[in-house]
Amino acid sequence: ETAVFQTPNYHVTQVGNEVSFNCKQTLGHDTMYWYKQDSKKLLKIMFSYNNKQLIVNETVPRRFSPQSSDKAHLNLRIKSVEPEDSAVYLCASSRPGQGRDTQYFGPGTRLLVL
Amino acid sequence: QQKVQQSPESLSVPEGGMASLNCTSSDRNFQYFWWYRQHSGEGPKALMSIFSDGDKKEGRFTAHLNKASLHVSLHIRDSQPSDSALYFCAASEHSNNRIFFGDGTQLVVKP
């Protein structure tokens, strides 16, 4: 049963455009994450938010920015997309426990940059 | 350096057979381990968690953890075609919620 929702499912755009992806979780979790899954299926953490505060910010390009209105929502904006941004972007959530909490993932947003 | 290493990269087993996936970590701070499974076109889903040394069995799936050697394995008995997926090993420390994922093992179960 899906409890982490992502929109859109799929997005095609051209180099230089701005895109925005949405994520919502109904699990009551306090921590949310964005991952990038590349063509080799590798999972790379991009950001995490705990109660609207950024607590992890990996070395991603500045054109990526997370946006959160409340603890149930975490969006991702990409200004001026590049071809290497083509990937699947996965949103996840978890309780803010001491490392032992399972992360729950959404179905992903597939981005194709032409 | 990758903190979580998985082997093999890919694995093919016949239907009804046993699939064995392996994972080792290089960080002795890791306390908690998971196996995640990702079917094509979906997000990863936690299959099993294991936090204590020894075996943990859930149906056809058995995870084994040896913290001394930082090795965790997943064994799937009576493999089914629906088990065909990408399996990730994941680990985290006690102090924070960041999970480190391995590169994945692609399992194919042939009917």
**Partner-chain residue, chosen from B95, B97, B101, that has the shortest CB–CB distance to A43:** B101
Percent of chain A with pLDDT over 90: 76
Angle at A104 between CA B47 and CA B102, to 5 degrees: 60
The pLDDT of residue A5 is 97
Answer yes or no: is pLDDT of A99 > 90: no
CB contact under 8 A, A48 and B97: yes
**Partner-chain residue, chosen from B46, B94, B104, that has the shortest CB–CB distance to A98:** B94
Q: Identify the three-state secondary structure at position A84.
A: helix
CB contact under 8 A, B99 and A42: no
A5-39 pLDDT, tens digit per residue, is 999 999 999 999 999 999 999 999 999 999 999 99
Best mutation target, B25, B49, B97, to test chain A (most A CBs within 10 A):
B97
Report the candidate in B31, B68, B37 with the shortest Cα–Cα distance to residue B50.
Answer: B31
The pLDDT of residue A1 is 60
Q: Using an 8 Å CB-CB cutoff, list chain A residues near B31.
A: 99-100
B17-41 pLDDT, tens digit per residue, is 999 999 999 899 899 999 999 999 9
**Partner-chain residue, chosen from A48, A56, A107, that has the shortest CB–CB distance to B43:** A107
Answer yes or no: is pLDDT of B97 > 80: no
Whole-angstrom Cα distance, residue A28 to residue A26? 6
What distance in Å separates residue A44's CA from the closest CA in chain B?
Answer: 8
The pLDDT of residue A51 is 74
